[in-house]
Amino acid sequence: MEIDPIVTCALLIVASCAVAAQAKGAVPLIPREVLFGNPDKAQARLSPDGTKISYLAPLDGVLNVWIGPADDPSAAEPVTRDTGRGIRIHFWAYTNRHIIYLQDKDGDENWRVYSVDLESKEVKDLTPFEGVQARIEGVSHLFPSEILIGLNDRNAQLHDIHRVNIATGASELVLENTGFAGIMTDDSYAPRLGLSFSPEGGMVVVRLEPDGSTEPFLTIGPEDVLTTNPIDFDKSGNTLYLIDSRGRDTAALTALALDTMEQNVLAEDPQVDIGGVMIHPTEKTVQAYSTNYDRQEWHALDEAVAQDLEALGEVADGDLDVVSRTLDDSTWLVAYEMDNGPVRYYRYDRQAKKATFLFTNRQALEQAPLVRMHPVVIKARDGLDLVSYLSLPAGTDPDERARPREPLPMVIWVHGGPWHRDAWGLDPIHQWLTNRGYAVLSVNFRGSTGFGKNFVNAANREWGQKMHDDLIDAVNWAVSERIADPERVAIGGGSYGGYATLVGMTMTPDVFACGVDLVGPSNLITFMDNLPEYWIPILPLLTDRVGDNATEEGKAFLQERSPLTYVDRISRPLLIGQGANDPRVRRQESDQIVKAMQERNIPVTYVLYADEGHGFARPENSLSFWAVAEAFLAEHLGGRCEPIGDAFKGSTIEVLAGADQVTGLAEASGGS
């Protein structure tokens, strides 16, 4: 039999990688498929009447919606037949016989809304419009057969509100949007509040009157706009529940009477913003709230719920979330997030105070050699506390003090947003990298949300400066604590994390041994010049927080904070991944820095996915990218690796540059 020389070369690489993995540690490699492939079950939800359960699960390798009896999820059957990207957003309609799900095309984020009739099995496209983004604007138990959908078909920047029958698809215009970034409705489907941004980056909230007129309601200054937002109305519609940081640092949960404007504080915490809020499905009373400094905690405001939270606290040792509730609030579906195990789902009977285990989201992880995630607080150079999360390879921390026996190669993985946060729990990137021999550190740098408005505002116009200083301070801390080997520290992340990676490789080129940039902006001017049309209403917010792309002075500032400006400083290996259809961070952002590097003969590896957007949704694409990243990190940090093998099977990966820069990449990609 004739042997293909490319296959022979690939087999040699596989063999050497496997030998290296075996030699470097006894802990078995966790297959990438187990961590980054489709979950067994995800996004579990109870029907409003509590008789059925839904969840997302693979059908022929593609995530679809499955429905089964609430007391026997194993009897569930698929009710959708998606064969492309898979379904990732679904919920029950109050009819108890319809499922609603959203889907876009190849990552373009032009979402369509679909309805599935569980009796007839008919799937109806409720928003059959090309190039239009649909948003769910309202779902109410008072109108089981109808939902509110926002569409930007008339004006790409603005979403008009439509009332849509989920069975017939019939649609009625409720409100033509005259310039609002957001519109808030109540359970009767009446538009109540319109939210828009002032030129200074603050928020103006007006009342929407039945006759179409508007009345001033709230003015939220730029300093409070990311930590103040209305969340719901009470049953009467006369009280607004509001997360509010005005006049304080950390955001409190408040109740605002719409007739008198009297505002009462329902819950507050001096250390963190109020996070999740539990509101009764029909009575609309606030029952509990959550806070999250380094771990999530629930606090009851209703004595009956206090008993439930106490009972649920005895069920599993993880962070609790109530992910679904019946309309009468008698039955909950709860999930426990673990740091060293899969998510555990239970059905909870409130009257009996009994939780019945249903399933985990990834059964293969139940026996995998997973590690703990350690919350740590790192001091920034100006005194800010940076809540961070450290994970160490199995066997390197025998005293469980979050300190290895000796310094390790380390990856600092930076979250996106940047107005988001890292949190405790099972992080597949942490587990993957620690399993390969790296310490992993994720840092809530300034600008991360949840820690009060002063912490968020400390990041204003600090992209590439103090926000990056926080990451450098975290690296220095890890080195001083003998966690990280200073010669073997990598930086990686997606979106803002990709930008931070490019900043690290250009503005602090001697700190990082290599970088992994996933859909990161390289030029803040072109990034802001090419925002999605429906982001234009929030442009004042970005201008205030990032910089002004409309003035020459502002452009000079943005250029100064752009990694592309300093591309000639790159001296360490860089891997870039990009989705061709990304509407947020356009392909141009990756193309232009790769081109600039090539013009200067600076090596770079660049992979593109024709059917992806802002991140990789198809597991075939995700698995191929992490396979490349794993080989890349092994080459430059010296960790273990699982052979690339058939990781490119079914993927649209295209290697546009630097195939020869990663061992085995050219062979695996067929020389592209």
Residues acting as catalytic residues:
495, 582, 614
The DSSP bridge partners found for residue 360 are: 344
Q: Which pair of tokens denotes residue 440? A: 């992993």
Q: Cα(30)–Cα(14) distance, rounded to whole angstroms? A: 16
Sheet holding 77-78, edge to edge: 42-46, 52-59, 62-69, 77-78
For residue 399, give every residue at least 6 positions away whose Cβ sits within 8 Å of its Cβ, in sequence order, or none: none
CB 150 within 8 A of CB 159: yes
| Of 577, 596, 597, residue with least CA distance to 587 | 577
DSSP 613: B
Which H/E stretch holds residue 12?
helix 5-23
The dihedral built from the CA positions of residue 510, 513, 514 and 520, taken in this order, carries a sign that is negative
Q: Cα(173)–Cα(100) distance, rounded to whole angstroms? A: 20
CB 269 within 8 A of CB 396: no
The DSSP bridge partners found for residue 546 are: none
Distances (CA, A) of 109 to 132, 200, 587: 9, 28, 15
Which H/E stretch holds residue 482?
none
Q: Cα(665)–Cα(37) distance, rounded to whole angstroms? A: 20
DSSP-derived secondary structure for 151-185:
EEEEETTEEEEEEEETTT--EEEEE--SS-SEEEE
For residue 422, give every residue at least 6 positions away whose Cβ sits within 8 Å of its Cβ, in sequence order, or none: 388, 389, 415, 442, 443, 444, 448
Angle (nearest 5°) at CA 160 between 157 and 165: 140
Q: Cα(29)–Cα(368) distance, rounded to whole angstroms? A: 9
> What SS3 string covers 294-310?
CCEEEEECCHHHHHHHH
Cβ neighbours of 650 (radius 10 Å): 14
CB 35 within 8 A of CB 86: no
Q: Cα(261)–Cα(455) distance, rounded to whole angstroms? A: 28
CB 144 within 8 A of CB 93: yes
Q: Cα(652)–Cα(632) distance, rounded to whole angstroms? A: 19
Q: Name the 3-class secondary structure at 499.
A: helix
Region class of 352: left (phi > 0), else alpha (psi between -120 and 50), else beta: alpha
Taking each helix axis from N to C terminus, what angle separates 496-507 and 466-480, rounded to the nearest 10 degrees?
Answer: 70
Q: Cα(635)–Cα(412) distance, rounded to whole angstroms? A: 17
